Structure 1
Amino acid sequence: MKKMRLLTKLMICMVLMLSFAGHSFAQEQTAEENEQQRDEIIFEFSDSAEASWANQAIGFMKYKQILSGYEDGSFRPNKPVSRIEAVVTAVRLMGLEEQAKAKTEGGKLLFADAQKIDKQYKWARGYIIVALEKGLFDTSESKLDPEKPASRVWVSSLLVKALGLQEEALALMSVEPDFKDVKAIPAGSIGYVNVAVKQGIISGYPDETFKPQRSVTRAELASLLERTGENLQEQDGSVTVTGKVVSVEADSTNNKLIKMVVKSFNGDTLTYTIAADFPVAFHDRFITAAGILAGDNVVLMSKNGVIWKASIISKEYADEAAAGINELEIKLVNDRKTGIELEYKSNKGKVKAEIEMWSNGKKEKLKGAAAVEELKTFLKEANLTPQLSKEEIQAQILQALGVKDGSYERLEAEVKFSNGSKVKIDSKHKQESNKEEAKYGIKEFELELKLKDGLKIKAEYSFDDGKSKSLIERGSEKLSAEAAEKSFAKLFEQAAWTDGMSKADALQAVLKHFEVQEADLTEVELEIKFSSGKKIELEYEKEHEDRVNSKDKVDKQK
């Protein structure tokens, strides 16, 4: 395969959007590994085979006491989840169950169906009150409809709110999700769907639809809750480490604990103490932590060195080019018409990756194995490691993209390494055409002068997207664009135009340039917006009785 140069392709032929969710680096373990005897933990239900794909998520949610089965020993994985069930599990996931139980008898529900809730779901009143207090409901919902099946779009909104990402959702309300049935998604839920997809909580179907009104099953809810829980833990300071187990031994001070040494795929050696009976995901089942063996590849999620989730993954994963990176997000804006976004996430050996490019408003898609190979090529070329400084990581990302430093408008990047460390980059650069703004530091300039003899002078200047516009009118005379440009250049060069200059100095500089005596003025309107965000506003009016009414101020632009 030819060496990849993403930005070059963008300029030449414009390729867009890698989406190969579900491609897995993890292959089936060898027969020898399958035959190894490991102490198994049984989280299964009598009907586990009906949704075996969700067994790990269901088991983990049972272990965390977020979800439970029925008295007959079944889980009923394909049964639709009701709204009341979704709310209760979301509150549990947020760690607020004790708070909810304390409010079961108190508080008043103002839903239109509150009487029904009090009669049939009294046990859930506290959960509903906590959910209301935490803003988990849509402000337009007048009824809870507790028995109504919870739809995919409704649960997506609920879980995004549980993560406290309402502001991010509101900011993405005008961004159209990449689903064929996007028109079926309620307009007020668009932002929440965007965030839910971005956070990896939910995804679309193979036919590229979202099916917003489809009911969520109990098995699906377990998976959605598991992913949301990982996001909540990360918000709380949790990190994810991937690597190979070097040694496992019993703790010398407590035989119920084991000490585990792990070498991350970045080469760091880390030591953990974990309960011997702690559940560890292994294929579609669970084993005890005591069953972990030296040589196992593991994914450990921990906070302050305490493991709260662990999985064993295939050895083949360690041989992949990107094994040292858990997540990578890059957004590079070359200008308003061209740019690239790349997102890579690895979860227990399964990879979800997307590359989006845009040029002149046009978009196309590249999918499949060929796209994955290109992404691997990029990761090999970038060769990012946690030992690099932020500046070195930025330089290597740009080099892999084929972009020269300083030739772009903005670069945003976040890299999460397999040793748990992460790096964030937010770099802004002026284009070559932006030298004028850097030189003068002025984005907008508007002036209107009226003189006693009736003469009117109007001058306007703006700088945007690397281009300036100039207009100067003096009475009936209008300067050409070139002449106006030169006049403004002379104006800006004659005085020290800074966002800290006084209004009096600004006025004097203007009068000097346009050769106007202050005594001849009847009205002045001046507004200057600087690149820093600050601005100067000046209004001056001199009436017949020489009464002056002026209003001026300097505001800091928000």
Structure 2
Amino acid sequence: MPKVKNLKSGLLAAVIIFFLAAGNTVAAAEQIFSDVPSGYWAEQSIARMSVKGVITGYQDGTFGVYKPVTRLEMTAMIIRTMGWDSNASIEVIPGTFKDPAELPLWGKKYVAIGVNRGIISGEDLTDYRGLDFAKRYEVAQYIGKAMGMEDEAQALESERLTYTDAKDIPVGARGYVALLREQGLMTGNADGTFQPLQNVTRAEMAVLMAKLDRMMNRIDVNEIKGFVKEVGTNSLVITTGDGQGTIPLADDVYVFLEGKRSSLSDLLPWDSVTIIKDGLYGVSVEAERIDELKGTVEEITVTVRLEDGVERIFRVNEDTRIRKDGENTDLVKVTPGDELELRLDGNIITRMYVSSRVVKAQYTGKVLDVNTSRERLKIALDGEESQEITVYTDNNTNVVTIDGKISSRLSKINEGDTVVVVGEMDDDDLVATTIIVTATIR
């Protein structure tokens, strides 16, 4: 037979609530690149793919956001995003590729992987044009092939494209353009065009690679997903499916909230976060504010402050019985500040007896109506334009008259009297414990 314990305490919360530590004032990190200002539309994608090693900047500290990418750069970025470059040094360009000697030294390994993986194929084997700028339709083709969805693209070749400039999309690319629209990777422009022949800038390519990375998750980096529990000065405590842990953060960590550059102190408990680590430290934090969570309840806990001030956490299960103010109820009716008496089986609450917290209230106003038969009066509050409240009385209500005498009779109050009402809130009703007449019309 388990030992039964009794505890009386004030309920702090019906579920565990994590509070943001006060005073966290971590400043936002410096610019990622000198030409990527804070708030730039592609800033988060550039940061993400930079820390993952997919994109790099130039020696002058710029990224070249408006500079078009070449076909060779496009190939390299896609291969890095797919995580295929870890053994790139041992790849050999097949003999089917024409004129490999014309390629820059840095790009040969990427062409080798591209040919071997099938993203460089067909006419590109004999006319690669690696230094030409990449067109939007070409990027769609290469991404679709990298995803291994050639069959799906072929099945979509006959699908009618609704872009106003669909006629400009080469026939061989139509299926890939339709595929990437279906996958949410390239959805066209606000004016209804796709602009298939337009060059793709480095900023646009960073955004595309970030989308592809989130979809495929192939890059070999330490990436942790979870929910914020606590925010420290240079760390985050997060909850994941494997439990809870503290992630130390680099001094120059990139922090984004809802896609916008932020600071660590902007994060709140239960924000969804993706943390990219470099060694021991998080170098990038991408956070989303969660308005709705769906899942299955595994366990419910309550945090209780005992009479000696010590806080303890207890579990509630389907067998827990709860009574509040003498009536059976459930946990949602228990509110912070309620008084508790608990029966325990180990750390599990078997019985919870709840007494509602008493909410004190005090109002001053002029009496509009006195109803002695129903033991209530109506007053107009001072300083509140046209606001009226009903005050209920009972056998315990004391009425203090203008001459200082104490009575239990509501008839001692007249319409037009000014009164101070002191009482307790019972749900939405004010029950007076004392009514003091401060001015009378007698």
User: Which category of TM-score, normalised to the shorter sequence, fits these structures?
Assistant: 0.5 to 0.7
Decide whether the 8 Å contact of 1:79 with 1:217 is kept in 2. Answer: yes
User: Aligned match of 2:117 in 134, 143, 146?
Assistant: 134
Distance in 2 of aligned mates of 1:298 and 1:47: 29
Shift of the 58–249 alpha-carbon distance from structure 1 to 2, 3 Å rule, reads closer
Letter aligned with residue 261 of structure 2 = R
Q: CA deviation at 1:39?
A: 4.1
Structure number, greater radius of gyration:
2
Say whether residues 1:298 and 2:277 are aligned partners.
no
Shift of the 51–38 alpha-carbon distance from structure 1 to 2, 3 Å rule, reads closer
Q: CA deviation at 1:279?
A: 4.2
User: Aligned match of 1:70 in 55, 58, 66?
Assistant: 58
Distance in 2 of aligned mates of 1:229 and 1:41: 23
Q: Residues 438-466 of structure 1, C-alpha deviation per residue, up to 9 Å, x if partnerless?
A: xxxxxxxxxxxxxxxxxxxxxxxxxxxxx
Q: Give 3-state SS (helix, strand or coil) of 2:217's partner.
A: helix
Q: Residues 124-168 of structure 1, C-alpha deviation per residue, up to 9 Å, x if partnerless?
A: 111101111111124232211011110111011111222222222
Q: Residues 237-288 of structure 1, C-alpha deviation per residue, up to 9 Å, x if partnerless?
A: x999786x343469xxxxx9753237xxxxx996355342364423533656
Shift of the 386–56 alpha-carbon distance from structure 1 to 2, 3 Å rule, reads same
Say whether residues 1:261 and 2:239 are aligned partners.
yes
Decide whether the 8 Å contact of 2:51 with 2:283 is kept in 1. Answer: no
Distance in 2 of aligned mates of 1:111 and 1:43: 41
Say whether residues 1:161 and 2:135 are aligned partners.
no
Q: Which residue of 1 aligns with 2:41?
A: 53
Distance in 2 of aligned mates of 1:386 and 1:96: 35
Shift of the 193–272 alpha-carbon distance from structure 1 to 2, 3 Å rule, reads farther
The within-5 A match list for 1:91-110 is: 91-103=79-91, 106-110=92-96
Alignment gaps of 5+ in structure 1: 1-34, 251-255, 263-267, 325-384, 389-558
Decide whether the 8 Å contact of 1:242 with 1:299 is kept in 2. Answer: yes
Q: Residues 404-450 of structure 1, C-alpha deviation per residue, up to 9 Å, x if partnerless?
A: xxxxxxxxxxxxxxxxxxxxxxxxxxxxxxxxxxxxxxxxxxxxxxx
Distance in 2 of aligned mates of 1:171 and 1:197: 14
User: Aligned match of 2:69 in 78, 81, 100?
Assistant: 81
**What's the TM-score once normalised by structure 1's chain length?**
0.42
Say whether residues 1:276 and 2:249 are aligned partners.
yes
Say whether residues 1:124 and 2:107 are aligned partners.
yes
The within-5 A match list for 1:366-381 is: none
Distance in 2 of aligned mates of 1:72 and 1:38: 28
Q: Give 3-state SS (helix, strand or coil) of 2:167's partner.
A: helix
Decide whether the 8 Å contact of 1:82 with 1:146 is kept in 2. Answer: yes
Q: CA deviation at 1:213?
A: 0.9
* RMSD (CA atoms): 3.7
Shift of the 292–96 alpha-carbon distance from structure 1 to 2, 3 Å rule, reads farther
Shift of the 168–313 alpha-carbon distance from structure 1 to 2, 3 Å rule, reads same
Q: Which residue of 2 aligns with 1:312?
A: 287
Q: Give 3-state SS (helix, strand or coil) of 2:40's partner.
A: helix
Q: Residues 274-323 of structure 1, C-alpha deviation per residue, up to 9 Å, x if partnerless?
A: 342364423533656xx574436334489xxxx99742235xx61xxxx4
Say whether residues 1:208 and 2:192 are aligned partners.
yes
Shift of the 153–108 alpha-carbon distance from structure 1 to 2, 3 Å rule, reads same
Letter aligned with residue 221 of structure 1 = M
Say whether residues 1:285 and 2:258 are aligned partners.
no
**What's the TM-score once normalised by structure 2's chain length?**
0.52
Decide whether the 8 Å contact of 1:176 with 1:190 is kept in 2. Answer: no
Decide whether the 8 Å contact of 2:82 with 2:218 is kept in 1. Answer: no
Say whether residues 1:170 and 2:154 are aligned partners.
yes
Q: CA deviation at 1:52?
A: 1.4
Q: CA deviation at 1:226?
A: 0.4
The within-5 A match list for 1:501-516 is: none
Q: Give 3-state SS (helix, strand or coil) of 1:274's partner.
A: strand
User: Aligned match of 1:199 in 180, 183, 187?
Assistant: 183
Higher normalized helix content (fraction of residues): 1
Work out the number of aligned pairs and report it: 267
Decide whether the 8 Å contact of 1:301 with 1:308 is kept in 2. Answer: yes
Distance in 1 of aligned mates of 2:242 and 2:106: 48
Distance in 1 of aligned mates of 2:189 and 2:224: 27
Say whether residues 1:145 and 2:129 are aligned partners.
yes
Shift of the 170–309 alpha-carbon distance from structure 1 to 2, 3 Å rule, reads farther
Letter aligned with residue 188 of structure 1 = G
Decide whether the 8 Å contact of 1:46 with 1:73 is kept in 2. Answer: yes
Distance in 1 of aligned mates of 2:145 and 2:183: 12
Distance in 2 of aligned mates of 1:232 and 1:39: 32
User: Aligned match of 2:169 in 165, 173, 185?
Assistant: 185
Letter aligned with residue 115 of structure 2 = L
Distance in 2 of aligned mates of 1:211 and 1:187: 15
Distance in 1 of aligned mates of 2:275 and 2:95: 38
Q: CA deviation at 1:54?
A: 0.8
Q: Percent identity?
A: 26
Decide whether the 8 Å contact of 1:76 with 1:218 is kept in 2. Answer: yes
Q: CA deviation at 1:122?
A: 1.9
Decide whether the 8 Å contact of 1:99 with 1:130 is kept in 2. Answer: no
Alignment gaps of 5+ in structure 2: 1-22, 277-281, 298-442
Decide whether the 8 Å contact of 1:51 with 1:219 is kept in 2. Answer: no
User: Aligned match of 2:211 in 227, 230, 254?
Assistant: 227
Q: CA deviation at 1:50?
A: 10
Letter aligned with residue 73 of structure 1 = G
Decide whether the 8 Å contact of 1:51 with 1:77 is kept in 2. Answer: no
Q: Give 3-state SS (helix, strand or coil) of 1:210's partner.
A: coil
Decide whether the 8 Å contact of 2:163 with 2:192 is kept in 1. Answer: yes
Q: Give 3-state SS (helix, strand or coil) of 1:132's partner.
A: helix
Decide whether the 8 Å contact of 1:169 with 1:191 is kept in 2. Answer: yes
Letter aligned with residue 179 of structure 2 = V
Q: Residues 485-542 of structure 1, C-alpha deviation per residue, up to 9 Å, x if partnerless?
A: xxxxxxxxxxxxxxxxxxxxxxxxxxxxxxxxxxxxxxxxxxxxxxxxxxxxxxxxxx
Shift of the 78–40 alpha-carbon distance from structure 1 to 2, 3 Å rule, reads same
Shift of the 95–213 alpha-carbon distance from structure 1 to 2, 3 Å rule, reads same
